[in-house]
Amino acid sequence: MKVVILDDAAAVARYGADIYREQLRKKPDSVLGLATGSTPLSLYRELIDGNRRGEYSFAGVTSFNLDEYMGLSADHPQSYRQFMNREFFTHIDIDPANTHVPPGDAVDPIQACRDYESAIAAAGGIDIQLLGIGRNGHIGFNEPTSCLNSRTRVKTLTRETIADNARFFRADEFQPQLSVTMGIGTIMEARLIVLLATGQSKAAAVQAMVEGPVSSWCPASALQFHSSTVVIVDEAAASELSDPAFFKHIEEQNQALLGRLRAAGSA
């Protein structure tokens, strides 16, 4: 697990966006795993700007989102499908037919979950998966006690997650308490995982993910077993790590090595 500690949320977004930019330049027909929530918004804006400048295209890209609220149709304004359309898809040159979000209103949700897994496999698997982390350590909607090799399925949201997301719903509006989410096992099959976390409220979860034991009580801790995970955090989210200077030193050395390799390649 590579841990990158940066000054602020804007720097986190730029660093994460650079990884996605490089992926798009290297493989224009990439399969991208995407996430919703407030944390990735700045990253999406960075990618939108680069696409508008003609630096790369999403025309050949296929995308799969992590999760969706159970009980909301794709056209519901609070659905994650609408979030992605509003914040990202309608601003880039991606083919809408190649964008996938788990169906929240499927007649047979169990079969819909199997179909989502099949669609990911048929696309060749996810090249790069974007993640956030919940205050309780969840990734996607894989809440504490989730099976660490789980597949796409229906999950009950914890009271903590429901409370955290209540700000997005009016007091008189239906707020789902179930979700459809990629499983941890599904996430772990991505070739590269990029996790973003910012703010003091995420510090305990980041510490448990990076330094704690691998446990279903902190689902994100399963990422310790992934061969290529980049955790990008700001100073506040890194504040409970035992030795932030250690990770900063490693990143400095990594960047110096990359600089030498680039110089040698251009010589």
Q: So what's the pLDDT on residue 218?
A: 97
Q: Is the pLDDT of residue 19 over 80?
A: yes
CA proximity to 188, closest of 232, 227, 216: 227
C-beta separation of 178 from 156 below 8 A: yes
Active site residue 29: no
d(CA 91, CA 93): 7
Which residues touch 152 (CB under 8 Å, ≥6 apart)?
102, 113, 114, 116, 117, 180, 181, 182, 183, 186
Q: Is the pLDDT of residue 175 over 80?
A: no
Which among 46, 65, 117, 138 is annotated as catalytic?
A: 138
Which among 51, 98, 136, 142 is annotated as catalytic?
A: 136
Domain 2-266 belongs in CATH node 3.20.20.140:
no
Q: So what's the pLDDT on residue 245?
A: 95
- Angle between the 41-52 and 9-26 helix axes, to the nearest 10 degrees? 50
Which among 68, 117, 127, 143 is annotated as catalytic?
A: 143
Q: Return the amino acid letter for 179.
A: S
Active site residue 243: no
Q: What single DSSP character describes residue 96?
A: G
Per-residue tokens: 131: 């993640």
Q: So what's the pLDDT on residue 264?
A: 87
Q: So what's the pLDDT on residue 125?
A: 98
Looking at the chain, the whole-number percentage of residues with pLDDT higher than 90 is 85
d(CA 10, CA 46): 10
Which residues touch 92 (CB under 8 Å, ≥6 apart)?
47, 48, 51, 58
Q: For the segment 66-124, what is each residue's pLDDT rounded down to a tens digit?
A: 999 999 999 999 999 999 999 999 999 999 999 999 999 999 999 999 999 999 999 99
Question: For the residues 130-159, what does the mean pLDDT come to?
Answer: 94
The three-state secondary structure class of 75 is coil
Number of H helices, E strands in the chain: 8, 10
Q: How far apart are the first and last CA of the chain?
A: 32
d(CA 76, CA 202): 29
d(CA 100, CA 115): 11
Provide the pLDDT confidence category of residue 174 given band limits of 50, 70 and 90: confident
d(CA 210, CA 223): 8
| Boundaries of every domain in the chain | 2-266
Q: Is the pLDDT of residue 168 over 90?
A: no
Which among 67, 127, 189, 234 is annotated as catalytic?
A: 67
Per-residue tokens: 170: 């009016």
Q: What single DSSP character describes residue 70?
A: T
Active site residue 91: no
Q: Return the amino acid letter for 201.
A: S
Active site residue 8: no
Provide the pLDDT confidence category of residue 267 given band limits of 50, 70 and 90: low
